Amino acid sequence: MPNATGETLNDRLSREPQLPPREAVRIGAALARSLVQLHRQGTKDCPITPANVLLHGNDARLLEVEQPLLTRDNQPYLSPEEAAGKRADELTDIYRLGALMYHMLTGSPPPAPQPASKLSTATKLRPPQPAPSVHSLRRDVTRQLDSAIARALAIEPANRFARAAQFAEILEDSQTAHTDHSPHSYRPSQVAIVDSFEFVEEETRSEQKRRQQSRRRIVVLLVLLAGAVAGLLLVKR
């Protein structure tokens, strides 16, 4: 219940399972900035769950706990690498914050991966599936915010934001870009800009590869032509 010192996000979600996108983004951005400070101090494997987030006015911060609460099987915020028996790190924290954003917007955390010890051999061989798109579940969530959350929830840690500061910047950018009841409003966000640069870079690499292949074919044809001419000259002699 709310009190003089605030309430936990868990209390808030028990009353309002799906938060307005602007409110979820505000909370997520504040927590992302908290992660930036914690990671700079050398802290990682942060227990990011609704029960460990304190809300007070416009402030949102992580509660201090003695030990991480995400080491048990089937925890809703269990990351794919933890389920595979690997150690958590800063990229795991980014996944957990993405899961928290997903929870605030959809009413439940993303499907948790099962620990490897509980999976059959056949299931272990199948790659984990990403969570359903937030935008597909809530049309008032912009595609830019949806893309940011999907990136934070990437199965492979290397495909997530490299640093919490990047996630924080994207969320802060979306605070001004997002209009709760205008799902089709658009202003290019950093996610879109990053994706567009990646697309251009990929196109550039493909074009360079095609040019190199074309040059090789021309060189081969010239060599063959020179060989044919030399052969004709020898025959005439």
Closest CA to 173 of 184, 187, 163, 155: 187
Q: Out of 1.10.390.10, 1.10.510.10, 3.40.720.10, 3.40.50.1000, which CATH number does the structure's domain 7-187 have?
A: 1.10.510.10
| Res 77: pLDDT | 83
| Res 47: pLDDT | 84
- Greatest alpha-carbon pair distance for the chain in Å reads 106
| Res 203: pLDDT | 52
pLDDT in tens, 161-216: 999 999 999 999 887 665 444 444 434 444 444 444 444 455 556 666 777 777 88
**Ranges of the chain whose pLDDT falls below 70:** 1-4, 65-74, 113-128, 176-208, 236-237
Any idea where the domains of the chain sit in the sequence?
7-187, 191-237
